Amino acid sequence: MRPEIVLFGDSITEQSFRSGGWGAALADTYSRKADVKVRGYGGYNTRWALFLMQHLFPLDSKKPPAAATIFFGANDAAILGRTSERQHVPVEEYKENLRKIVLHMKKCSPTILIVLITPPPVDEDGRNKYARSLYGEDAREEPERMNEVTGVYAKKCIELAEEIGLRSINLWSKLQETEGWQKKFLSDGLHLTPEGNAVVHQEVVRVFREAWFSAEEMPYDFPHHSDIDEKNPEKAFQQRCA
């Protein structure tokens, strides 16, 4: 009965049900109105995500999702020749992969509301500290992700959204508007703190609302308990379950 919202992305989506996570908060915002399904794959780039499309979004689905967030790029933007180079995807391919993901989803669910989210900014100092906490002196000095490079991917993501008429969230820009974003919003230079998660949650709720997919305007799936007449409970259910 309830519409479904799919969150498709990398680790920032996979971890979105940890304490303070944006996915859990979204599920709470749409409580009794829509179901939130997490499809987050830590470490994945858009090239690998493409292998999942026919499985996650089968074209013969009886109940395709009503809305989705597509949130990739943090791994695609890993830099060639550095520690995470196996995840690297060239920026033009990133954009075309995103396009394929979108087109597949639209084939699966023609009226789906899709919101593209850019990768968050990178705090290179935070990444280095994180690498040293893992590898000590062996950690390379050169960051495996750079904020400026990730910014190029973010730009491509927004460019695609504009080209094909999708809503989008420029998280890369948005987070950097706040002084001290590096530590306030990012826990290891890349993943989100509870404060960073809160921004993603607010932004997704805002964009969904602007697209007329607002929790406030959606009906509860069954009567509110105060609308149930305790002497005659079936009445409330007959009206709402007919």
Binding interface with a second copy (CB under 8 A) = 1, 14-15, 17-21, 24-25, 27-28, 31-32, 35, 37-38, 40-44, 47-48, 51-52, 55, 62, 75, 86-87, 194, 222, 224-226, 228, 230, 233-234, 237, 241
Give the residue with the Cβ less far from a second copy, 127 or 167: 127
The structure tokens listed for 31 are 């409580």
* Residue whose CB is less far from a second copy, 168 or 203: 203
- Give min distance, CB of 78 to a second copy, in A: 11
Report, in Å, the least distance between residue 136 CB and a second copy: 21
CB of 131 to a second copy, least distance (A): 17
Report which DSSP code applies to 168.
E
Render 64-79 in DSSP notation, one character per residue: --SEEEEE--TTTTPP
Contacts of 182 (CB under 8 A, 6+ apart): 123, 125, 126, 189
Distance separating alpha carbons of residues 215 and 203, to the nearest angstrom: 14
Q: Which two tokens stand for residue 130?
A: 């994180």
- Nearest-angstrom CA–CA distance, 71 and 169: 10
226 annotated active-site:
no
Nearer to a second copy, 22 or 170 (CB): 22
Which residues have a catalytic role annotated? 11
